[in-house]
Amino acid sequence: MSNIIVYSGPMKCGKTQEILNEYKRQLISGKKVKMFKPKIDNRTIGLVQANSGIDIPAVEINRIQELENYNADVYCIDEFQLLKGSVETIQKMADQGKKFFIAGLNLTSEKKPFGKMSDILCIADEIHILKSICDNCKSEEGVYSYYKGGKDTDIVIGSKGYLSLCRDCYEELTHNDKLKKINCI
Ligand SMILES: [Zn+2]
């Protein structure tokens, strides 16, 4: 049985949508489900919003340990890369039968592991790495998030100013500066 399921990948790959779908599925199956997000994500206070526009009320937390304060069967967590603390809490709760659906960016815009994502990927039972459509060449191979405003390794809020790029286009942008002009959303 999988108790820790992680959806990861670059910006705009649909990972939030995946946990929203699970949120609804688990509710239908009669489970007590709660949605969580980091306090720092101020796109929509208290809501998790997929790009498709569906809103789900979310509890805002700073640290992973705070999950223990909330009683549920299923815990859905968005933007996991921005949470502080230790994933041991999730491992312990999963061992006790709690189920987790987690979405988060695997890499910063400088292609480094993002926050606690490497830790959660190590203890996950199931990992789904999703790809996006490359904002430059429109291939389905988008694997990197690139911040147009320069370095931004710590905070990602929404997708404004970010591009999702394939490996080739990321290389072009960072080393050769030959990208076509892109209108960022
Ligand atoms: Zn590309």
Q: Is residue 157, in this structure, part of any structural domain at all? A: no
Q: Is residue 158, in this structure, part of any structural domain at all? A: no
Angle at 42 between CA 41 and CA 45, to 5 degrees: 110
Q: Which residues of 49-85 are buried (b: 16+ CB within 10 A; e: fewer)?
A: bbeeeeebebbebeebebbeeeebebbbbbbbbbbeb
Instruction: List all residues 6 or more positions away from 69 whose beta carbon is below 8 Å from its beta carbon.
Output: none
Tokens describing residue 60: 């805002």
How close is the Cα of 184 to the center of ligand 1, in Å? 14
Which residue do the tokens 């606690």 mark? 116
Q: Is residue 146, in this structure, part of any structural domain at all? A: no
How close is the Cα of 98 to the center of ligand 1, in Å? 39
Decide if 130 contacts 13 (C-beta within 8 A). Answer: yes
Q: Is residue 42, in this structure, part of any structural domain at all? A: yes
| Overall number of domains in the chain | 1
Decide if 10 contacts 132 (C-beta within 8 A). Answer: yes
**Per-residue pLDDT of the chain in tens (185 residues, 90 and over written 9):** 899 999 999 999 999 999 999 999 999 999 999 999 999 756 656 667 666 556 788 999 999 999 999 999 999 999 999 999 999 999 999 999 999 999 999 999 999 999 999 999 999 999 999 999 999 999 999 999 988 765 555 445 555 678 999 999 999 888 765 555 554 44
Nearest Cα to 35, choosing from 4, 53, 61, 5?
A: 61
CATH number for the domain spanning 19: value is 3.40.50.300
Q: Is residue 135, in this structure, part of any structural domain at all? A: no
Instruction: List all residues 6 or more positions away from 172 whose beta carbon is below 8 Å from its beta carbon.
Output: 136, 178, 179
Q: Is residue 153, in this structure, part of any structural domain at all? A: no
DSSP 8-state class, residue 82: G
**Structural domain harbouring 9:** 4-129
Beta strands 47-49 and 74-77, pairing class: unpaired
Which residue do the tokens 């990197």 mark? 144
What is residue 21's predicted lDDT score, i.e. its pLDDT? 94
How close is the Cα of 144 to the center of ligand 1, in Å? 10
Q: Is residue 134, in this structure, part of any structural domain at all? A: no
Which residue do the tokens 């937390």 mark? 61
Nearest Cα to 13, choosing from 182, 163, 167?
A: 163
How close is the Cα of 139 to the center of ligand 1, in Å? 6
d(CA 47, CA 164) in angstroms, rounded, equals 23
Q: Is residue 147, in this structure, part of any structural domain at all? A: no
How close is the Cα of 11 to the center of ligand 1, in Å? 14
What is residue 150's predicted lDDT score, i.e. its pLDDT? 57
What is residue 176's predicted lDDT score, i.e. its pLDDT? 66
What is residue 1's predicted lDDT score, i.e. its pLDDT? 84
